[in-house]
């Protein structure tokens, strides 16, 4: 145990997710040796968070402006919407460089035990978005002064976490979305990680890998030797 503000700092750092007592100590003593300018920038960043964080009016992720960079990017496919639980999930998908659509952040997953129901998530905003009544369709008018055509969502990719609450949220969203005409609803595939051993896979992961298997080769019927 240390004394005074150093121990107070260690205690507060230890409350952060993923930071244990030893990590909290290392960070605290790193900050003690840091340049005053570095400490000031950290203080300013924390102060800005206390002042409030902006959220994108379209997808709900954290944003510096009314709309995030992805929703403002004209190269993105607005008809393809990937539904995620948290803003950090967007960064994970973006790192793959395989997705060109846009996102919708729910703000969590259904968890009745902890009091998180549909009203605590951005599910109603998703339904309005699919129905065509969103800020995307209420942007500035075109050159002729007329309102832009509504953006039709063609596919919703449900990318909630592959755990109990994530699966429950995915099932709930499917029930709500399946009655929209012409809408494709897909679930982000989950299976075995690259480099992993089959014997260490849990039942849920292995089950998803089996149900989501893809055909590599299929011989034509009746093509055997005569």
Q: Per residue in 41-80, pLDDT tens?
A: 999 998 888 877 899 999 999 998 899 999 999 999 999 9
Where along the chain do its domains lie?
5-51, 80-135+149-210
184-187 sheet: strands from edge to edge:
101-105, 77-84, 155-158, 184-187
Measured at the CA of 136, the angle between CA 132 and CA 138, to 5 degrees, comes to 90
21-58 CB burial, b ≥16 within 10 A, e <16: eeebbebbeeeeeeeeeeeeeeeeeeeeeeeeeebbbb
Average pLDDT score over the chain: 86
85, 160 in Cβ contact below 8 A?
A: yes
80-135+149-210: CATH number: 3.40.1360.10
Tokens 């969203």 belong to 173
Q: Tell me the pTM.
A: 0.77
DSSP 180-211: STT-EEEE----PPTT--GGG--HHHHHHHHH
What CATH number is given for 5-51 in this structure? 1.10.8.420
Predicted confidence (pLDDT) at residue 223 exceeds the cutoff of 60: no
Q: What is the pLDDT of residues 123-142, one digit of tens each?
A: 999 999 999 866 665 554 44
Task: Tokens for 135, please give them.
Answer: 């800020």
């Amino acid at each position: 145990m240390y004394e005074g503000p150093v121990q107070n700092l260690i205690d507060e750092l230890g409350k952060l997710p993923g930071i244990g007592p030893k990590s909290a100590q290392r960070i605290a003593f790193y900050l003690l040796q840091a340049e005053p300018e570095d400490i000031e920038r950290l203080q300013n960043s924390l102060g800005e968070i206390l002042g409030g964080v902006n959220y994108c009016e379209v997808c709900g992720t954290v944003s510096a402006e009314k709309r995030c960079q992805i929703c403002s990017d004209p190269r993105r496919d607005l008809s393809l919407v990937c539904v995620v639980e948290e803003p950090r999930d967007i960064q994970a998908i973006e790192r793959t460089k395989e997705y060109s659509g846009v996102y919708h952040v729910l703000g969590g997953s259904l968890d009745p035990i902890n009091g998180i129901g549909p009203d605590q998530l951005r599910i109603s905003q998703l339904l309005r978005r699919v129905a065509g009544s969103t800020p995307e369709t209420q942007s500035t008018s075109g050159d002729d002064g007329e309102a832009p055509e509504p953006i039709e969502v063609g596919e919703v990719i449900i990318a909630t976490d592959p755990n109990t609450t994530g699966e429950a949220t995915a099932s709930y969203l499917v029930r709500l979305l399946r009655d929209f005409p012409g809408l494709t609803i897909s679930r982000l595939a989950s299976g075995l990680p690259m480099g992993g051993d089959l014997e260490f896979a849990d039942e849920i992961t292995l089950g998803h890998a089996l149900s989501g298997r893809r055909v590599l080769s299929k011989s034509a019927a009746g093509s055997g030797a005569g």
